[in-house]
Structure 1
Amino acid sequence: MKDLYRVLIVDDEPLIRQGIKHYLDWEKSGFEIVGEASNGQEALALIPQCQPHIMLTDMVMPIMDGEVLTKEMKQHYPNIQVVILSSFGEYDYVRSAFHHGAIDYILKPKLNAKDLHDVLCKAVQHIPKVLKCEETYQKVVSSKSTQIEKVIDGYSSKEDIEQLCKLFTYPYFCLIGVVSQNESGNINKVECAERILEPFYQQHEDQVRYAWIKEDQYTSIAIVNLNDLELYERLKNVCKVAAQISFIMTSCFEQLQQLRRIYMEEWKALIQLPFYFSEKSLICTEDAPCTKKEEPFNLDWFTDEWKNGHYDLAFQYLRQYSYGLVQSAHLSVNEFRSFFNHIFFTVTILLSNHGYERSMLEKVKFSYVSKVSAALSAHEVIDYMERFIEEMNDTVTQVSVKGNEDSIQQVIEYISTHYHEPISLNVVAETFHFNASYLSAQFSHRMKVGFNEYVNRIRIEHACKQLTEGKRPISEIGGVVGYSDHSYFCKVFKKLKGVSPSYYRRQQKKDQLRELG
């Protein structure tokens, strides 16, 4: 039996990885795909398990890019041959990768079967002879897994189905898998699952067949072929008593042609559920919640409540909505985490706009974003949300009383100095880096009068002094205290003083004469 050269594919775009997998008849060409990773960090974690001869890697990836990955590979695994998957305009990246030991590159936009085969053959020439003679997985196992993946991905032929039917001769099928939510929880998850299931397989070895198909860093899937439905229930019972591992299991189906539909409709929905129901060791199709999707989060309302200082109402709404998300379990894990990270960003930005210390808020924000990104369950995320709310409430309580008083006092002093200028709420809010709605609410709460009315009062008091002194004509006084429209000045003056400016001046002169007489 001919040994196969093991290939690891590293690219952050799933479609690219899928495309590469179906460019070649890998076994016929002498190769097998032993793993996939979406960034360099994942790839390094997979190497001890996959032991690849060749690595195909993209250059521009999150967390760890292809340049750093190539450097790390050549330092720790010098015999693994690196081939770069490059896009146009990435010459500097490719050049640096060659510097670190890559042997060739392929332009992704021009990728085709012949070029891929040629570059793989070139890589083989650089593999030390001792590695070329290593034992690989049995060809029949690899062939079986590859054919199953082709059925799932929708690339299978009639011949693939026929060959699988010869391997899986029992009447019932199901998909079973293991899921972990981060890298640390992923180590040897397949081995752990196999240890749990092995006694069952041994006990029923003449009635059960199965094959594991590695999907990605966090999830592995197996197809199980059963002789009767009672075995399906027994298998479920075995999984229910497992510890420190989450199994997911589809319903039974009777034809391999149904495999892709079961995978797309059931498996894709089930794979998110261990994150929401982390206390369960087995989640089946019947465990999926039937709750309809939540209404979209009303971010505009939430933001307005914050701007108006109604923090308790805003947080109460956030809590109710968040617990609804957990119960409905309809968001993907990434969508669920992103929702809370967006909330953390929004709240800290709003507080920054309200005058709270930006550097402190940035530190808090990134702390919680990091925690949520590493959380292993939805309930853990909810706990972080509660802590965030508590911390923000403490911040508002401790800072707002003194901070708001100091800020409003600064606004009052600003008005006293600039009352004669074209002053407005928006101008003052921008000057002191406030949201205008928030400033209006806080100013009214502190001064027991609205912003514009307060400005009018200050201006009219200064107008009264000018009228009493009697040095300026009344027609000029309105402009001196900040009114560009004389008739509007007279209107405001009469509203606040009950008399016109001219009458007020006459009364002041009479009072002065009376005092002198």
Structure 2
Amino acid sequence: MLNGNVLIVEDQPNFRRGLMKMMEGGRLGWNVAGEAANGHDALTMLDQVRPDLVLTDIRMPVMDGLEFVGHLRQKYPELLVVIITAYKNFEYAQAAVRHGVLDLLVKPCKEEDVRQVLSKAADRFIQRRKQLLPGHHEGPQPGSVVVLNQSRAKELEAQLMSAILTGQAEVLEQLLHQRIAELSGIPEAELKLQALSLTLALQATIQKQFQTDRFPSADSGVSDRMPQPHWKAEEVLVWVKEQVLSFMRLFMQWQASSKQDNVIERAMQYVEEHYHEECRLTDLADYVHMNPSYFSVLFKKTTGDSFTSYVTRLRMDKAALLLRNTDMRIFEIACAVGFDEPNYFTNVFKQQFRMSPKEYRKIPVEEAVSPLST
């Protein structure tokens, strides 16, 4: 059996071990190549482990699953990803699915649910590997041209979205110029198909990345008109270049708008006012009218800290003030700074201060350190 390698990213040790046991000895078509307790650790392992599949939880300390997938997609746009989530994070997981994950597992999940998802991933992995084997040829089937065209559009869309996540116009422009160069010299019939694929990718990217109240698709400049049957190769190339120029203009306007509106400052102010609530990256991205993955990258680029780490450290700073200046109980402080579970709050506090909340409360004021100052 053709087994693939899987990386498991899950902060709950028991659940992580349970997944590993199910795949022990290469069962279910997968070999466990590595494990990590958060997205940050998983990112450092990708090049070494080179997984074919990633199973990742959504809610984790240090770096959450959605932010991790956003970074992962920049380097490995085609990597198979399965999201693990809880019911209360279901909308969060849906956002991740829109960014190209294969499937999701909803906790609490049965063993049969896990088996079905892993089987689906194994089938997809085997299908990809077979396509790379020498001598693998399949005759054209009815509708195969359309399927190939859609597949090419999806591939281009993933590349465009990954380039946009860098936030650098020259990277995106270089990618598009490369695609135009590849169109030159190919047969006219194939040229029209590839031009259609590129345009579909541009339109899908606009809808997912740029479409906000400020930039409705009607103003994008990328035409819905497809290449006409009577067009010559030169006409198709001119048309494609016009679509690319319109796309780049929209990208520059959208990027400039993000800077002019002080997006990150507004986001940080929102966190300051809502840290005691369930402060999710997707909520903030929606608040500032921005794609979640791009917002995550822009936030870290601007602040030097991931969104999850920033929120956690802010909450710990508020908790430290309450411990120092009030007689509130630990569970009351946990609730006041946005934690539903006191035990989880205590664990996070220990990670930040290397001591428990009770121990912190006892130390002299001059020895107390804020996590935001470290």
Q: What's the TM-score, normalizing by structure 1?
A: 0.36
Tell me which of the two structures has the higher relative contact order, counting C-alpha pairs closer than 8 angstroms and 6 or more residues apart.
2
Greater Rg over alpha carbons, structure: 1
Q: What's the TM-score, normalizing by structure 2?
A: 0.49
